[in-house]
């Protein structure tokens, strides 16, 4: 018998086939389960549990996406305010000041001059 990897998700196609099989069970009139996990009550309970967990997962994914969007927006707002601050410092103190260097700019006097290339 093949080893079953339960760490991966089942394909949606397989789950739909399982649900259809469960819905077809009432058509089998004299079904008697030989194993307790195959009884109609256990099947119904497992279906309800699966659907509840899937709904919870969907809700949590939606919350995670919303939190991700909020964090991304906050990151952009912070970045834009830092860029405005840096430009303000450069405008107030000049491009060759120690203050501009303190906020992350390179001093204008420390930039290398471009060299001509020999043709």
Number of compact structural domains in the chain:
1
- Is residue 78 in a domain? yes
Parent domain of 39: 14-110
Q: Please give the average per-residue pLDDT across 112-117, as a whole number.
A: 84
**Digit-coded pLDDT (tens) for 51-110:** 999 999 999 999 999 999 999 999 999 999 999 999 999 999 998 999 999 998 888 888
Q: What is the pLDDT, as a whole number, of residue 1?
A: 65
Q: ∠ CA(17), CA(20), CA(21), 5° rounding?
A: 85
Q: How far apart are CA 78 and CA 71, in angstroms?
A: 10
The alpha carbons of the chain give a radius of gyration, in whole angstroms, of 32
pLDDT at 116: 86
Residues 6+ apart with CB under 8 A from 1: none
| Domain contains 40 | yes
In a domain, 89, yes or no: yes
């Amino acid at each position: 018998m093949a080893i079953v990897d339960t760490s991966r998700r089942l394909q949606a196609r397989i789950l739909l086939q399982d649900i259809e099989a469960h819905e077809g069970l009432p058509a089998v009139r004299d079904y008697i389960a030989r194993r307790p996990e195959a009884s109609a009550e256990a099947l119904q309970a497992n279906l309800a549990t699966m659907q509840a967990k899937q709904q919870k997962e969907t809700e949590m994914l939606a919350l995670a996406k919303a939190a991700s969007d909020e964090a991304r927006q906050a990151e952009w707002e912070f970045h834009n305010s830092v860029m405005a601050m840096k430009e303000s410092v450069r405008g107030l103190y000049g491009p060759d000041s120690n203050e501009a260097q303190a906020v992350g700019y390179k001093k204008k006097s420390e930039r290398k001059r471009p060299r001509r290339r020999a043709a």
